[in-house]
Amino acid sequence: MLEIRNLHARIAEDGTEIIRGLNLTVNKGEVAAIMGPNGSGKSTLSYVLAGREDYEVTEGDILYDGESILELDPAERAAKGIFLAFQYPMEIPGVATMEFLKVAMNAQRKARGEEPLSIPEFIRRVKEASGDLSMDMAMLKRPLNVGFSGGEKKRAEILQMKLLEPRLCVLDETDSGLDIDALKIVSDGVNALRSPDRAFLVITHYQRLLEHIVPDSVHVLYKGQVIKSGDKSLALELEENGYAGVVGEAA
């Protein structure tokens, strides 16, 4: 589903190369965990996958269903079913969360050639999805992410993911700042969405999230490259020995 080949990407503003020859393949139905020390380029990878303009790809390719997405803008990538939950979700003042959801869902339906949802059907879907996440409907009347706690922001991200029914989900440190209860809700939300034709890239600094979302593969990112891949036991090894061992091996 996703094949990243010898990817090099830099910050557009100053030309600093952050992703330096990254290779990664994620198959349909797979949950791949990306782990790595702070500053290794995990968030940058998620921005590059999203197609943010402040990053430039200088070499390599990103194939999604066998086709390069490098020329697509963020909205086109979203319409193709690529969803990103960022480490620091954006605040959208002046737009009620409900309204934001409606616009996002209908934009995606339009891109797929589908009719907009009727209001009752939209509300039914939002109620169902937010109930599963123990989110209060009153919260959805507030502007998206404005004044939301860390846990509320992460739930709002998972809510968007449920409603948009993406095929490739990239979650950047969705666990950071979550207490155990919120972590469980987010993990349950992700696990409920696991399916044979959907893939997940779960980016995390800690092993803790992977106790709840058990990955099929684990990849260690360091200085902009995948330096080691393995199964879920690799995450446990990292938890016990830290990143130093794996980094030493690669060097």
> What is the Cα Rg of the chain in Å?
18
Q: How far is CA 152 from CA 130, 146, 160, 166, 185, in A?
A: 11, 10, 12, 21, 11
**Where does this chain touch Mg ion (CB under 5 A) — which range of 32-40, 133-141, 143-151, 194-202?**
32-40
Is the CB of 18 or the CB of 85 nearer to ligand ADP? 18
**Is 11 an interacting residue with respect to ligand ADP (CB under 6 A)?**
yes
CB of 37 to Mg ion, least distance (A): 9
Is the CB of 53 or the CB of 197 nearer to ligand ADP? 53
Is the CB of 83 or the CB of 86 nearer to Mg ion? 86
State how far the Cα of 88 lies from the Cα of 80, in Å rounded to an integer: 23
State how far the Cα of 58 lies from the Cα of 151, in Å rounded to an integer: 36
Query: Of 2, 7, 18, 144, which one interacts with ligand ADP (CB under 6 A)?
Result: 18
CB of 53 to ligand ADP, least distance (A): 12
Residues 70-89 interacting with Mg ion (rule: CB under 5 A): 87
User: Helix 97-111 and helix 119-132: axis angle, to 10°?
Assistant: 110
**Is 89 an interacting residue with respect to ligand ADP (CB under 6 A)?**
no
**Is 42 an interacting residue with respect to ligand ADP (CB under 6 A)?**
yes
Amino acid identity of 121? E
Burial 89-113 (b: 16+ CB within 10 A, else e): beeeeeeebbebbbeebeebeeeee
Start-to-end CA distance of the chain, whole Å, equals: 30
**Where does this chain touch ligand ADP (CB under 6 A) — which range of 31-39, 148-156, 225-233, 238-246?**
31-39
**Is 162 an interacting residue with respect to Mg ion (CB under 5 A)?**
no
CB of 221 to ligand ADP, least distance (A): 7
**Is 225 an interacting residue with respect to ligand ADP (CB under 6 A)?**
no
CB count in 10 Å sphere of residue 169: 23
Q: What length does the chain have?
A: 251
Answer positive or negative: Cα dihedral of 221, 224, 228, 230.
positive
State the maximum Cα–Cα separation within the chain, in Å, rounded to a whole number.
58
Q: Which residue has the tokens 């123990």?
A: 134
**Is 38 an interacting residue with respect to Mg ion (CB under 5 A)?**
yes
CB of 175 to Mg ion, least distance (A): 12
Report how many residues bind ligand ADP under the rule CB under 6 A: 11
Task: Assess contact for 79 and 21: CB atoms under 8 A.
Answer: no
**Is 39 an interacting residue with respect to ligand ADP (CB under 6 A)?**
yes
Query: Of 41, 51, 81, 189, which one interacts with ligand ADP (CB under 6 A)?
Result: 41
Query: Of 42, 102, 154, 155, which one interacts with Mg ion (CB under 5 A)?
Result: 42
Binding site for ligand ADP (CB under 6 A): 11, 16, 18, 36, 38-44
Binding site for Mg ion (CB under 5 A): 38, 42-43, 87
